[in-house]
Amino acid sequence: MQKVVLFDFDGTVVNSMGELAVWASELINKYYELAIPIAKELYLRTSGLSFHEQMEIMFPNGNKNKVIVNAFESKKEREFMNHKVFPDAPEVFKYLKNKGYIVGISSSNMPHIIKKFLKGQGVDADEYLGFESLEFTKGKPHFEYIKKKYGVNYEDIIFVGDSIKDKEKASECGVKFIAKTGINSKKDFKAACSDILIIDKLTELKNIL
């Protein structure tokens, strides 16, 4: 039976969460006049979801949500290529593929951004799954797609992510989760789930998988 390793994108493979939080908090401050530190905290607390879903959690049915999401996604289109993958990402992806794993991205980012960005930085994946609609996004829809395409079971999938929401999405389907510190510390992850495997760097996966 083949095994699959899926990675979250922002904050897990790409060193982007800090700047994305700044972009989001500035837009929220502009349109809703919420203090930037509070907006930033809310953005990070709901990370792991699409920005559309994050805005609906922060401001349910907010009449300015759509314009904020559009502005945020437009900024990504223009400026995301300035970010960098974590230095160990290309090595780890290559290692896993050489070991026979199916390696992919499962993200709330736009799929065309994911693929273009990673290929430009020498990170080669088998799948580049992103947010295409509320019916096909990170979590169960992506896991189901992988399950059917490759003939695997949920227990054959490992998901590596940097947010509590990532952990929740994996747990909903019985998918094994490996937490990567960044926006959440080891303490944060252990508070959410006492029995959890945590890494600080992607290279640590070479000792696990």
State residue 140's pLDDT score: 96
Statement: residue 133 has pLDDT above 70:
yes
Same domain, 36 and 89: no
> So what's the pLDDT on residue 193?
85
Residue 168's pLDDT is 94
Q: Positive or negative CA dihedral for 26, 10, 119, 127?
A: negative
| Residue 147: C-alpha distances to residues 48, 88, 124, 175, 200 (Å) | 21, 27, 20, 11, 28
Q: Which of 82, 104, 134 is the last residue of a domain?
A: 82
Rounded Cα distance, 136 and 107, in Å: 11
pLDDT tops 70 at residue 63: yes
Phi-psi map region of 126: left, alpha, beta (phi>0 left; psi -120 to 50 alpha): alpha
pLDDT of the residue at 72? 96
In this structure, the answer to whether residues 58 and 131 fall within a common structural domain is no
pLDDT of residue 5: 98
pLDDT in tens, 79-127: 998 999 999 999 999 999 999 999 999 999 889 889 999 989 989 999 9
Where in 59-162 does DSSP place strands (E)? 102-106, 127-129, 157-161
- Kindly report the CATH number assigned to the domain that includes residue 150: 3.40.50.1000
Tell me, yes or no, whether 194 and 95 share the same domain.
yes
Q: What percent of the chain has pLDDT over 90?
A: 89
Is 73 in the same domain as 11?
Answer: no
109 close to 131: Cβ distance less than 8 angstroms: yes
Total number of domains in the chain: 2
What gap in Å lies between CA 171 and CA 180, rounded to an integer? 16
Model pTM above 0.75: yes
Residue 73 shares a structural domain with residue 89: no
> Which residue would you say has higher pLDDT here, 7 or 1?
7
Same domain? For 88 and 188 the reply is yes
Domain hosting 64: range is 17-82
Q: Are residues 29 and 122 in the same domain?
A: no
* pLDDT tens digits for range 153-168: 999 999 999 999 999 9
Do 89 and 68 share a structural domain? no
Is the CA virtual torsion 116, 121, 122, 127 positive or negative? negative
One domain for residues 78 and 99: no
pLDDT in tens, 84-95: 999 999 999 999
Tens-digit pLDDT profile for residues 172-189? 999 999 999 999 999 999
Assess whether 185 and 195 both reside in one domain. yes
What was the pLDDT predicted at 1? Answer: 60
The average pLDDT across 46-55 equals 94
pLDDT at position 73 over 90: yes
